[in-house]
Amino acid sequence: MTRVFWILLVAVTSSSQVHARTWHLQPDGTGDAPTIAAAINSSVAGDVVELACGTYHEEGMFVRSGITIRSETGQPECVTIEGRQPVNRPATIFNSLGSDDTTLLEGLTITGGLANDYFWGVVGGGLVISSGSSLVVKKCNIVGNVARGTGGVLIIQSHPTFIDCLIAENEATLSFPGGVTLANGSSLRAYNTTILSNIAVSRVVDGRVGPDCEVYFYCCDIDLAGWEFNGFYQVDDSSCGQVPAEIQSWGSVKAFYR
């Protein structure tokens, strides 16, 4: 019985390795897939969608568990993903619904998201993270996105990690902060991340931490006066200068919440 088990395990592992691949994309659509969305939809867990430097005009994309979406240099200056304006269907740039902690966005500038339509959505112009997502966002600039509520990043019932990111100059035109909102029992860990200069019609500008939510700022550039805290927050600047390898994925810090 044990021998059969190990044979099946090796077969499953080998199958996963065979199917995993890197999708190389070009801004003009001449790569392995014509669009980022098409590459994501064709990917399986373990795949990498790698973007050549340039500007990609897309929105309304849904991130899948286990997929890495990154620029070829790993730096946000390399790749800009810009929502098309005007667009027939106003939409968030990226949506993460239930994506696990093996999911990664890296080295991207996310801009031009527009969530202002009551049919298609009015919150989270740049990134919406919901339904138990625990993805990692690394070296991403989320800037210049607009929504009726929370222009930058909306986090609902989820637990993402942000590392070396910039969330700035996003706008909420009706309510909520311009930068980041945590709601419905969410938590956020942010390392070496700047969250500043977001705009909102309401009094909260950069962020809101809802009831039963938690946010942990490690060596971040923030202005607490621009936040509303109805939940828990912690600021820790005791070990700035580097991010330990063990916090590169959410899985290694889950124990913090037990």
Model's pTM, two decimal places?
A: 0.87
Reported as a pLDDT band with limits 50, 70 and 90, residue 88 is low
The whole-angstrom separation of Cα 98 and Cα 90 is 22
7 pLDDT exceeds 60? no
The whole-angstrom separation of Cα 128 and Cα 26 is 25
pLDDT at 34: 97
Class of domain 54-240 (CATH, top level): mainly beta
- Point out which residues pair with 48 in neighbouring strands: 22, 68
Residue 96: count of CB within 10 angstroms of its CB = 27
The whole-angstrom separation of Cα 156 and Cα 163 is 19
- Point out which residues pair with 109 in neighbouring strands: 80, 141
The whole-angstrom separation of Cα 181 and Cα 129 is 10
pLDDT at 6: 46
Percent of the chain with pLDDT over 90: 76
Q: Mean pLDDT, to the nearest integer, of 177-191?
A: 97
pLDDT at 242: 59
Reported as a pLDDT band with limits 50, 70 and 90, residue 122 is confident
The domain ranges of the chain are 54-240
pLDDT at 18: 54
129 pLDDT exceeds 50? yes
Reported as a pLDDT band with limits 50, 70 and 90, residue 175 is confident
Name the residue among 81, 142, 63, 136 with its Cα closest to residue 106.
136
pLDDT at 16: 44
pLDDT at 84: 85
Specify the pairing of strand 199-200 against strand 61-63. unpaired
Contact between 205 and 177 under an 8 Å Cβ cutoff? The reply is yes
Tokens (6 digits) for 240: 């700035």
pLDDT at 58: 94
199 pLDDT exceeds 60? yes
Least confident of 107-111, 130-134, 201-205, 241-245: 241-245
